[in-house]
Structure 1
């Protein structure tokens, strides 16, 4: 059987845990058919993972007892941050899932001239958080990426990072190692690209333009490819 991992926030972690989340109980009890004394790994999203033992499993309650700390790691030295425009239904889900698997530290969704203008409601934000948690669990990561509130384009380009990158068809390819850069902010444009005025603003805010491919990529492809490439160059 594959490793069973559950996310519990660091502030809720304690020696004895009581889980009442229906979805988790259903998976443990009915899907995986685990019982008393079965082992479960709990990660806190802040660098720690523990081994727990099932003490009791009921229809609406799961009681766990901590055995020991299994893994612990410091926050990554090179933090990758992705800024992406609001997109049509489903595309954001895919970006969040795959970029989490690739090691992203933070997401900045934003609104620009050619993006979707309507901000996500509470239920959509809750689903996005769930996608990030599930991708963190599945990829065996210990640090949970942070999802920022939706911001305006002009607001996010002014954020301070050690390196700010934007993909562009009219730029050259990245060739140098990025190991020395501690916080790298990668931004991808909307369908239809940034406007001329937005490109001017990016240049004024010290963004470095780089080319991903000789071909025109979908936004979700560009986001995932960018994160994978920059992650590799940070090694």
Structure 2
């Protein structure tokens, strides 16, 4: 009996030892952990009316000297910028996008074995103009051309904040991904699919700009016929699911 009574304190003490804790995230069975992984990508596209339009406009001038060509170009560009400002474009939305000064040569003397002859200099200066008035793009092009713009490019339409339109696309893409993963799981003999990881990709692809000469001709003959339409903004989710028994 003495031996038995001596063992009791030890037994009682052993019963007070806390049970081992299951680490967080280890609630699934080993069979679940060892089940197959399913990985795929899913894309969701959302279309929205654009709230910005970008137009390229510039002038090219030539003169016998580089200084004269520069002066002529500066005067022409000032007229172009003034026309954009009169059309309601903010100064912050007018940006130089390209500038080039190059010598011009006559290569005819090469036919007689002579070096090319310098005949002058050419200056090309290009602006990028952004407007928030997407319904008046045709009128803006008319104003730029009337002010001497000869190098017109665009328009291209876009969203000032493309990410703001993606929240719904994110939710829809994840819902579709989960539905697809569950279909795969059932087809493979499992009950469901559990999301393991998700990463985001994707981007915004604006429509191709309208041909410039067509935009100018239609604008002049029939008023504002340039239509903003809609722009596409897409999100791609790269997801990974574990198949669950």
Normalised TM-score (structure 1): 0.21
Structure 1 or 2: more strand by fraction: 2
Q: Which has the higher contact order (CA 8 A, sep 6+)?
A: 2
